[in-house]
């Protein structure tokens, strides 16, 4: 009989399996044994900074706050939003600016802006042709444009993500029906379709106008999400979820759509900025926000003839439109880098 202990064989097999597992683990490197005090041999310790781990939420925040353009854009957009909604108030909430956008009065100094480097003056953005305070008008227009843009962006994203997810996952007649409906909306010029619908429902208020615009601007996201879902539905984690009996709705909601978050987030920001430009175009043509209310687009349309005589009546609403659109796009770029795990621009 051999004097060898059976436990030695088991110990050796355990060590071999441990080494084999260490070799096949991606991203892991094995350190050579290094002498330790007292003659003991051990593994080299990693620096404490490399041992620190972060949750997924912490990683998203770290990536986003490292994107300087997104942070600056977020601050500027927050400033514009706070300025617009607190200056003249919104609904029953009063504002700190003492003039109403509907109140007319005598034109002072030809309606020129009184804003300076350190002072606002009585009419910072000047006055329009009937003596209304143009700062109050621009703030009201900014409120309406922001509300329409964000409602359209959020609703069109929800519609597009749901339709694209269903079409990409179920395939068959479901995909054919949903994609043919999407193609039908795509071939119709967006501005024409939006103008016809806005002309029919524009007098019902800004929320109805926003719903109408959201109903015709979801098509691009639906096609993008469908393409992502077509590739994700063949992945191993989806097959595993199906094998254990997970329902299709839960697979789409918990496993597939979260992996398309990069596409969805980026398209949401594009939808918001595009909605501002679309609303501006409709209001410029007279199909958008109707008097006595105003938006940034309707202000440009109303005072386009005063461009050579009173250019500030054109430039102030135009600058706010450009600033809002750029800020939203920069924020979307930062969110894409933060949410999409395939982005390697910033080191965690």
**Domains along the chain?**
75-90+138-226+258-339 (1.10.3720.10)
216, 221, 223, 228 alpha-carbon torsion, rounded to 10°: -160
The DSSP letter of residue 127 is B
Half-sphere exposure of 183 (CA within 13 A, CB side): 7
- The Cα–Cα gap between 316 and 83 comes to 14
- 154-171 burial, b at 16+ Cβ within 10 Å, e below that, comes to bbbbebbbbbbbbbbbee
Q: In this predicted structure, what is the pLDDT of residue 139?
A: 94
Is the pLDDT reported for residue 207 higher than 70?
Answer: yes
Q: What is the pLDDT of residues 14-66, one digit of tens each?
A: 444 443 444 344 444 444 444 444 444 444 444 544 546 777 667 878 888 88
Q: What is the pLDDT of residues 247-257, one digit of tens each?
A: 888 888 888 88
The DSSP letter of residue 133 is B
Q: Which residue has the higher pLDDT, 262 or 13?
A: 262
- The mean pLDDT of 211-231, rounded to a whole number, is 90
Q: In this predicted structure, what is the pLDDT of residue 46?
A: 46
Q: What is the pLDDT of residues 65-117, one digit of tens each?
A: 888 999 999 999 999 999 999 999 888 888 888 888 888 888 888 888 888 77
- pTM for the whole thing? 0.77
Which of helix, strand or coil describes residue 161? helix
Distances (CA, A) of 320 to 73, 79, 314, 323: 13, 12, 11, 5
Q: What does the DSSP assignment read for 301-331?
A: HHTGGGTTT-THHHHHHHHHHHHHHHHHHHH
Q: In this predicted structure, what is the pLDDT of residue 273?
A: 86
- 327-340 burial, b at 16+ Cβ within 10 Å, e below that, comes to bbbbbbbbbbbbbb
Label residue 263 by pLDDT band (50, 70, 90).
confident
- The Cα–Cα gap between 301 and 202 comes to 16
Cα 243 from chain centre: 35
């Amino acid at each position: 009989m051999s004097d060898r202990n059976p436990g030695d064989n088991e110990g050796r097999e355990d060590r071999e399996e441990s080494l084999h597992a260490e070799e096949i683990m991606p991203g892991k490197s094995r350190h050579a044994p290094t002498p330790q005090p007292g003659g003991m041999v051990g593994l080299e310790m990693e620096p404490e900074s490399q041992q620190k781990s972060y949750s997924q939420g912490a990683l998203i925040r770290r990536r986003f706050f490292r994107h300087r353009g997104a942070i600056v854009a977020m601050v500027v957009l927050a400033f514009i939003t706070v300025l617009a909604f607190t200056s003249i108030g919104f609904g029953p909430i009063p504002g700190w600016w003492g003039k109403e956008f509907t109140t007319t009065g005598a034109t002072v100094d030809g309606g020129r802006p009184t804003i300076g480097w350190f002072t606002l003056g009585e009419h910072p953005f000047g006055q329009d042709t009937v003596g209304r305070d143009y700062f109050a008008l621009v703030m009201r227009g900014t409120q309406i444009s922001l509300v329409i843009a964000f409602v359209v962006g959020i609703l069109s994203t929800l519609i597009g993500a749901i339709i694209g997810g269903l079409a990409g996952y179920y395939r068959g007649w479901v995909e054919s029906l949903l994609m043919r409906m999407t193609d039908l909306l795509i071939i119709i010029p967006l501005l024409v379709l939006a103008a016809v619908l806005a002309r029919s429902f524009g007098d019902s208020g800004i929320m109805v106008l926003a719903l109408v615009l959201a109903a015709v601007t979801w098509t691009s996201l639906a096609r993008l999400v469908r393409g992502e879902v077509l590739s994700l539905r063949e992945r191993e984690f989806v097959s595993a979820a199906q094998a254990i009996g997970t329902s299709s709705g839960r697979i789409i909601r918990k496993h597939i759509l979260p992996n398309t978050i990069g596409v969805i987030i980026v398209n949401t920001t594009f939808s918001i900025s595009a909605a501002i430009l679309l609303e501006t175009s409709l209001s410029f043509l007279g199909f958008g926000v109707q008097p006595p209310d105003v938006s940034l687009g309707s202000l440009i349309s109303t005072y386009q003839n005063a461009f050579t005589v009173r250019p500030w009546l054109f430039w102030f609403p135009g600058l706010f439109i450009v600033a809002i659109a750029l800020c939203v796009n920069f924020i979307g770029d930062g969110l894409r880098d933060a949410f999409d795990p395939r982005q390697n621009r910033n080191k965690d």
